[in-house]
Amino acid sequence: MIEPRKMRFFNINTLEKIPQLERLSQEMIFEMKVVGNVLPFRTNNYVTDELIDWDQVPNDPMFQLTFPQRDMLPPELYEQMAAVMQSGADREVIAEEANRIRMALNPHPAGQMTANVPRLDDDVVEGLQHKYRETALVFPSSGQTCHAYCTFCFRWAQFVGIDGLKFATDESMRFQKYLAMHPEITDVLVTGGDPMIMSVKNLKEYLEPLLEPEFDHIKTIRIGTKSVAYWPYRFVTDKDSEEVLALFRRVTEAGKHLSIMGHHSHYVELETEVAAEAIQRIRQTGAQYRCQSPVLRHINDDPDVWARMWQKQVELGAIPYYMFVERDTGAKGYFEIPLWRALEIYKKAIQQVSGLARTVRGPSMSALPGKVQVDGVTEINGEMVYVLSFLQGRNPDWVKRPFFAKFDPEATWLNHLRPAFGEEHFFFEEELHLILENGNKYGWEKLQSSPRQFRPEELLRN
Ligand SMILES: *Cc1c(COP(=O)(O)O)cnc(C)c1O
Ligand code: SF4
């Protein structure tokens, strides 16, 4: 029998209400506040009471995952923020300084603001991204927050409300019209933030219309969520959990494939009774439960952590899906690992599990041209190279075509890599420029002179 739990959020202003913080030094708490003024911070009582092992703090992976750490900011930026706070400056000055520092942290990586925004009758469709032919991403306006914030999150900019960086549907719900008019879209991925933060009433507004005949071409609905990790009660004892499950069942009974894309960074998130119960209940609706996460220093840069996590996923009836490389934004410097190391972790983990857990692909970079997987490191004609391939491309023809980059032990992202064998460009580069300038030949992007063009001066205003 799982007892209901009353949710209690903690943010940077209520940090000291967390009882376990009594164990930490004042110095450490100040450091958390400095960083937490710049990067978003939110956690809850399930994470603090059930997932974090306070005897292991600060090295505990769940603590690293949700609590700000000094080294998450580059030292000079940390010092600047600390100095403003120590000077006794008022809130406004602190907020201004925070915004200035945020702009130095690449708030919108991989051309997200400009390169994936679809249009309808020449107007931007709010809250939709259409990068790969088959799949459109929907960002519901009321799902742009989470049950706790991951310290590495590449969507952090929207949680701190930097003006103009919010990415969400508007009241017109015009994205539905766009989906109806694009028969090439077979998959809709509802994402955020975390859509499962929404009330069941809001969630219905996004899911139910997709069951109508005009959306017959949409075969699969995915919901990206970390709720099973951060608040599994959403599916077990929360007031409307039964209604949520009934909604899932309605989707699967309408003949759609429903896949809940669980974000799981560590096996700890899957080893509580309530998390297992949540996954079981989700699966009983006919939905699948797939799992994905980036590989992160301080949290899961250890093959044994991944092997145990994938094994646990299979035991719970879940499907290991993606291992990502951390994106180039926010506290990346703190979490990043070289590409060869990510590959090593993937390899050593996959070697420990049976075929049923080898459904997971990676390590994969969601970069400007597409999802690029690191397949291997090898030597060809005396040159050390990375073997790479697209799992998804802005042009679907790029997928599964191996290409080669000079081995660089420092490289942590695609843009650090140069072509091998003395070539000047990767095979996709010229076409990528054409696509970014003119829209895709499949017609799902018209990108030029996007009004969402990212303008730093404008973003600094508040
Ligand atoms: C990962 C991703 C998808 C989904 O890709 P799959 O390989 O089908 O899981 C769709 N759109 C964007 C922008 C993505 O990053
Ligand atoms: S749950 Fe997802 S969207 Fe929310 S903070 Fe974590 S990574 Fe970001």
Tell me the pLDDT of the chain (462 aa) as tens digits.
899 999 999 999 999 999 999 999 999 999 999 999 999 999 999 999 999 999 999 999 999 999 999 999 999 999 999 999 999 889 899 999 999 998 888 776 655 555 677 888 778 888 999 999 999 999 999 988 999 999 988 777 777 776 555 678 887 789 999 999 999 999 999 998 999 999 999 999 999 999 999 999 999 999 999 999 999 999 999 999 999 999 999 999 999 999 999 999 999 999 999 999 999 999 999 999 999 999 999 999 999 999 999 999 999 999 999 999 987 666 778 999 999 999 999 999 999 999 999 999 999 999 989 999 999 999 999 999 999 999 999 999 999 999 999 999 999 999 999 999 999 999 999 988 888 877 766 555 544 334 333 333 332 322
Q: What is the rounded distance in angstroms from the CA atom of residue 356 to the CA atom of residue 378?
A: 27
Percent composition of the chain: helix, strand, coil (DSSP 3-state, to 5) = 40, 20, 40
Among all bound ligands, the one having the nearest atom to the CA of 42 is 2
Give the residue, out of 182, 184, 368, 371, with the most ligand 1 atoms within 8 A of its beta carbon, to mutate for a pocket test: 371
- pTM above the 0.85 mark? yes
CA of 331 to the centre of ligand 1 (A): 23
- CATH architecture of structural domain 119-356: Alpha-Beta Barrel (3.20)
Give the residue, out of 149, 190, 329, with the most ligand 2 atoms within 8 A of its beta carbon, to mutate for a pocket test: 149
If DSSP states are collapsed to H, E and C, what string results for 29-86? HHHHHHHHHHCCCEEEHHHHHHHCCHHHCCCCHHHHHHCCCHHHCCHHHHHHHHHHHH
Atom of ligand 1 nearest to the CA of 189: 10
CA of 462 to the centre of ligand 1 (A): 33
For residue 147 and ligand 2, the question of a CB distance below 6 A is answered with no
For residue 226 and ligand 2, the question of a CB distance below 6 A is answered with yes
Atom of ligand 1 nearest to the CA of 134: 8
CA of 4 to the centre of ligand 2 (A): 24
- Beta-bridged to residue 9, according to DSSP, are 44
Atom of ligand 2 nearest to the CA of 226: 1
Give the residue, out of 65, 167, 194, with the most ligand 2 atoms within 8 A of its beta carbon, to mutate for a pocket test: 194
For residue 320 and ligand 2, the question of a CB distance below 6 A is answered with no
Sign of the dihedral through C-alpha 355, 346, 413, 187: positive
Q: Where are the domains of the chain?
A: 9-105, 119-356, 367-462
CA of 147 to the centre of ligand 2 (A): 9
